[in-house]
A = this chain, B = another copy of it.
Amino acid sequence: MTTSFIPPRRILMGPGPSDVPQRVLDAMARPTIGHLDPAFVDMMEQIKAMLRMAFQTQNALTFPVSAPGSAGMEMCFVNLVEPGDKVIVCKNGVFGGRMLENVKRCGGVPVIVDDAWGKPVDPNKVRDAFAANPDARVLAFVHAETSTGAQSDAATLARIAQEAGALTIMDCVTSLGGTPIHLDAWGIDAAYSGSQKCLSCTPGLSPVSFSERAVERIKARKTPVQSWFLDLNLVLGYWQSAGRRTYHHTAPINPMYGLHESLVILEEEGLENAWARHRAMHEALKAGLEGMGLRYVVDEAARLPQLNSIHVPEGVDEAAIRARLLNEFNLEIGAGLGDMAGKIWRIGLMGHSARQENVDYCLTALKACL
């Protein structure tokens, strides 16, 4: 007979999920109500409003996809890319590569702008790509590369796309709530994020936002969207204002309670204060890490405060250290992915994890293990 699962208590300083505040966990445990209940519909309107605050947008079509960030990514691509559409995809880590996969599976024609892992996207290469491909309809890039900790200059990249008459899809899974995002001021047309990073909700939901230009593009499609679950034409009917809601799928009720609470916490702190806290905790962690002789992977100018990638010192068995941190200190930090597997650690300071006590604990534990 299987017994109930009692998870260990961990301190989550990997690339996500981050530590979830007790208030959010408590919200998850409130009684389930129906997805068409007027009380649920009202709560959803509040989530949409708070997500607009977090994304810094007025976009009407701003809501959480009922699935993880990978599904939010796929929603952007399957709706905005039609077979034959040329898409400039910036690739400087795992998630740019995943965008490329999405373009191919939608029948899009990718134009790849390659940058080294750990570097930001080079705007000059993007300009060149548009000059060589004036018919490109979409630019796709990752704002905060979770696989490396590099941040790209979203404002500049989006401006280049606008000048070329293309739409912009931005991955901000790791940046939302942690580092400045201004969807409207930058002119981003589609953005997707995750609940489990700087929002510090549990994983499983993907906040997205689409501009009016994006909605027009979707409405003008010549071919049907290949996914039923992610078809915005259908989802629109579900997420549009209260009263006229049509059934599409059953939303994850309790995880939505959790997301609501995490956004209430963000609103209480203030978005700019949250950004400043992530920056301050990064400075504190950086001072400690550099004091131990550890070196950052990403150049200072492009460094994400909430994801600190550091080189594993020569001769150190990185997996053994992570196992010790987990088993002896209940501390989770992240390994490298892809080309960086075995070579780097990724230390997250996301959302509720971006606290002085976590910084101190992580430095103490690392010192003990190295």
List residues of chain A with CB under 8 Å of any chain B CB. 1-10, 12, 14, 16-17, 19-20, 23, 25-35, 37-40, 43, 46, 49-50, 66-71, 73-74, 98, 101-102, 104-106, 194, 196, 202-205, 224-229, 247-255, 257-258, 260-261, 263-264, 267-268, 326, 332, 337
Q: Which residues of B contact A38 (CB under 8 A)?
A: 326
In the complex, what's the smallest C-beta–C-beta distance from A229 to chain B, in angstroms? 5
Q: Could you tell me if A17 and B46 are in contact, using CB atoms closer than 8 angstroms?
A: no
In the complex, what's the smallest C-beta–C-beta distance from A65 to chain B, in angstroms? 9
Considering the complex, give the chain B residue whose CB is closest to the CB of A202: B254
Q: Which residues of B contact A105 (CB under 8 A)?
A: 224-228
Q: Could you tell me if A67 and B67 are in contact, using CB atoms closer than 8 angstroms?
A: yes
Q: Give the distance in Å from the alpha carbon of A68 to the alpha carbon of B228 in the complex.
A: 12
Contact of A27 among B2, B5, B225 (CB under 8 A): B5
Contact of A252 among B49, B202, B225 (CB under 8 A): B202
Q: Which residues of B contact A20 (CB under 8 A)?
A: 31-32, 254
Q: Could you tell me if A28 and B228 are in contact, using CB atoms closer than 8 angstroms?
A: no
Q: Could you tell me if B37 and A29 are in contact, using CB atoms closer than 8 angstroms?
A: no
* Copies of this chain in its oligomeric complex: 2
Q: Give the distance in Å from the alpha carbon of A25 to the alpha carbon of B251 in the complex.
A: 16
Q: Which residues of B contact A224 (CB under 8 A)?
A: 104-105
Q: A10-B37, A203-B253 are in contact. Are A268 and B226 (CB under 8 A)?
A: no
Q: Could you tell me if A66 and B69 are in contact, using CB atoms closer than 8 angstroms?
A: no
Considering the complex, give the chain B residue whose CB is closest to the CB of A71: B229
Q: Could you tell me if B25 and A9 are in contact, using CB atoms closer than 8 angstroms?
A: no
Contact of A254 among B25, B102, B229, B263 (CB under 8 A): B25
Interface of A is mostly: loop
Q: Give the distance in Å from the alpha carbon of A75 to the alpha carbon of B101 in the complex.
A: 17
Q: Give the distance in Å from the alpha carbon of A50 to the alpha carbon of B4 in the complex.
A: 12
What would 11 more interface pairs be, CB under 8 Å, given A5-B27, A10-B33, A203-B252?
A5-B260, A12-B33, A17-B35, A28-B254, A29-B29, A33-B332, A67-B67, A68-B250, A68-B251, A101-B228, A203-B250
Which among A9, A14, A37, A104 has the greatest number of chain B C-beta atoms within 10 A? A37
Q: Which residues of B contact A196 (CB under 8 A)?
A: 32, 250, 253
Q: A70-B228, A229-B70, A252-B202 are in contact. Are A8 and B25 (CB under 8 A)?
A: no
Q: A17-B253, A224-B105, A228-B74 are in contact. Are A203 and B35 (CB under 8 A)?
A: yes
Contact of A250 among B17, B106, B229 (CB under 8 A): B17
Q: Could you tell me if A2 and B263 are in contact, using CB atoms closer than 8 angstroms?
A: yes
Q: Give the distance in Å from the alpha carbon of A181 to the alpha carbon of B74 in the complex.
A: 33
